[in-house]
Amino acid sequence: MDNVIWSPSIQWRSLKPEFSVVARDKERTSEQQYALNAFLTAVERRAFRMAEFATHNPDDALDIVQDSMFKLVERYRDRPEAEWGPLFQTILQSRITDWYRRQSLRRRLFGWLKPSDDEDEGDILETIADDDALDPAEQLALSRDSEALLAGIARLPLRQQQAFLLRAWEQLSVEDTARAMGCSEGSVKTHYFRALKALRAMGGLE
């Protein structure tokens, strides 16, 4: 019969490496959580405004941003921090585009149930524009330049709006913008150029 005497010290030694691995993983996870929190804190307001420009609906914009945050953390948290920015923009723009497509499809499928008002059924991503006014309180708080710029951006077609915000606000390169928008670099240049032209015509840009 084996006389193995259990010793707390022996057991502790055998478990110690596992404890240290767990502690190291925990520390790394904690650092990652901290970094992710800092990253999301830095981008969340801009992301919300971008989604709001596109949807003209704060609740939908919040859903889009929250969904994008979940997606980034769930799938890409282990990617290097330098990649989080482009990844987040790609997710966000994809969500915004999906939202537009769903809205377009709902209009197409259910629109005929309502009385017809001769809606234009063109490509919603290229043609949709907004006539909603900005919140009066915001308008008062911002300068005249800001008002004209924000109102102009809100009226841009979606793809021009995305190209303008990614290039002029997020300062992304043409290549990064093309990745985030899921289109060619040539399309980005065209959308951006048209956005600038439209904003100048509307008095939003000098």
Partner 1 sequence: MNPDNPTPETPVKPLLDHHADALDAATAMRLQTARQAALSPDARRRARSHALWLWTAPLATAASVGLLALGLDWHTGHEPEMPTLEDVEVLAAHEPADLIEDYEFYQWLPDEGSASEEP
In the region spanning residues 65 to 94, those forming contacts with partner 1, defined by CB under 8 A, are: 65-66, 69-75, 82-83, 86, 90-91, 94
Q: Is 173 within 8 Å of 163 (Cβ atoms)?
A: no
In the region spanning residues 136 to 195, those forming contacts with partner 1, defined by CB under 8 A, are: 138, 141-143, 145-146, 149-150, 165, 167-169, 171-176, 179, 182, 189, 192-193
Mark residues 19-58: x for contact with partner 1 by CB under 8 A, - for none.
Answer: --------------x--xx--xx--xxx-xx--------x
Provide, for the chain, the percentages of residues in helix, strand and coil under a 3-state DSSP scheme, each rounded to the nearest 5. Answer: 75, 0, 25
| Token pair for 184 | 């060619």
Amino acid at 85: G
Amino acid at 157: P
Q: Residue 133, interface with partner 1 (CB under 8 A)?
A: no
Q: What is the 3-state secondary structure (H, E, C) of 61-130?
A: HHHHHHHHHHHHHHHHCCCCHHHHHHHHHHHHHHHHHHHHHHHHHHHHHHHHHCCCCCCCCCCHHHHCCC
Q: Residue 196, interface with partner 1 (CB under 8 A)?
A: yes
Binding site residues, partner 1, CB under 8 A: 33, 36-37, 40-41, 44-46, 48-49, 58, 62, 65-66, 69-75, 82-83, 86, 90-91, 94-95, 98, 101-102, 105, 108-110, 112, 138, 141-143, 145-146, 149-150, 165, 167-169, 171-176, 179, 182, 189, 192-193, 196, 199, 204-206
